[in-house]
Amino acid sequence: MTEELFARHGAWTFSIARFVPVARHFISIPAGVARMRLPVFILQRMLAATVIAFGWIRKRRAAQRAGSATAATQVPSAAE
Protein backbone atom coordinates (compact mmCIF):
# COMPACT_ATOMS: atom_id res chain seq x y z
CA MET A 1 0.00 0.00 0.00
CA THR A 2 2.77 2.46 0.87
CA GLU A 3 4.65 1.69 -2.32
CA GLU A 4 1.45 2.24 -4.35
CA LEU A 5 0.83 5.60 -2.70
CA PHE A 6 4.43 6.62 -3.27
CA ALA A 7 4.38 5.43 -6.89
CA ARG A 8 1.09 7.16 -7.67
CA HIS A 9 1.57 10.50 -5.94
CA GLY A 10 5.33 10.76 -5.60
CA ALA A 11 7.51 12.04 -2.82
CA TRP A 12 5.37 15.14 -2.25
CA THR A 13 2.84 12.93 -0.47
CA PHE A 14 5.21 12.81 2.47
CA SER A 15 5.69 16.58 2.48
CA ILE A 16 1.97 17.21 2.48
CA ALA A 17 1.52 14.69 5.30
CA ARG A 18 3.86 16.89 7.33
CA PHE A 19 0.97 19.36 7.66
CA VAL A 20 -1.45 16.77 9.07
CA PRO A 21 -1.19 16.87 12.88
CA VAL A 22 -1.06 13.13 13.66
CA ALA A 23 0.59 12.01 10.42
CA ARG A 24 3.61 14.31 10.84
CA HIS A 25 4.90 12.15 13.68
CA PHE A 26 4.68 8.88 11.77
CA ILE A 27 5.44 9.89 8.18
CA SER A 28 9.06 8.79 8.44
CA ILE A 29 8.04 5.14 8.76
CA PRO A 30 6.17 4.89 5.41
CA ALA A 31 8.90 6.95 3.76
CA GLY A 32 11.44 4.37 4.89
CA VAL A 33 9.25 1.45 3.83
CA ALA A 34 8.85 3.04 0.39
CA ARG A 35 12.65 3.41 0.26
CA MET A 36 12.48 7.15 -0.31
CA ARG A 37 15.91 8.59 -1.05
CA LEU A 38 17.38 10.32 1.99
CA PRO A 39 18.41 13.60 0.27
CA VAL A 40 14.89 14.02 -1.14
CA PHE A 41 13.34 13.22 2.23
CA ILE A 42 15.58 15.70 4.06
CA LEU A 43 14.95 18.44 1.49
CA GLN A 44 11.19 18.02 1.67
CA ARG A 45 11.22 17.89 5.47
CA MET A 46 13.22 21.13 5.55
CA LEU A 47 10.85 22.84 3.12
CA ALA A 48 7.78 21.75 5.07
CA ALA A 49 9.36 22.83 8.37
CA THR A 50 10.19 26.22 6.86
CA VAL A 51 6.59 26.74 5.74
CA ILE A 52 5.33 25.77 9.19
CA ALA A 53 7.82 28.11 10.88
CA PHE A 54 6.86 31.07 8.67
CA GLY A 55 3.18 30.41 9.39
CA TRP A 56 3.87 30.26 13.12
CA ILE A 57 5.87 33.51 13.05
CA ARG A 58 3.20 35.27 11.02
CA LYS A 59 0.47 34.11 13.39
CA ARG A 60 2.48 35.22 16.42
CA ARG A 61 3.15 38.68 14.95
CA ALA A 62 -0.53 39.13 14.09
CA ALA A 63 -1.47 38.22 17.67
CA GLN A 64 1.08 40.67 19.04
CA ARG A 65 -0.25 43.46 16.82
CA ALA A 66 -3.83 42.71 17.83
CA GLY A 67 -2.84 42.61 21.50
CA SER A 68 -0.91 45.88 21.40
CA ALA A 69 -3.69 47.64 19.47
CA THR A 70 -6.22 46.47 22.04
CA ALA A 71 -4.06 47.63 24.93
CA ALA A 72 -3.47 51.03 23.33
CA THR A 73 -7.18 51.70 22.83
CA GLN A 74 -8.29 50.72 26.35
CA VAL A 75 -9.36 53.58 28.61
CA PRO A 76 -8.06 53.35 32.19
CA SER A 77 -10.75 52.97 34.80
CA ALA A 78 -11.35 55.52 37.54
CA ALA A 79 -10.11 53.07 40.18
CA GLU A 80 -6.59 53.20 38.80
pLDDT of res. 2 = 64
Q: What is the DSSP string of 12-61?
A: HHHHHHTTSTTHHHHTHHHHHHTT--HHHHHHHHHHHHHHHHHHHHHHHH
pLDDT of res. 63 = 83
pLDDT of res. 75 = 52
Write down the pTM of the prediction: 0.57
pLDDT in tens, the chain (80 residues): 666 767 777 777 777 777 777 877 787 787 788 788 889 888 888 888 898 889 889 988 888 888 755 544 555 555 54
Domain extents for the chain?
Answer: 2-72
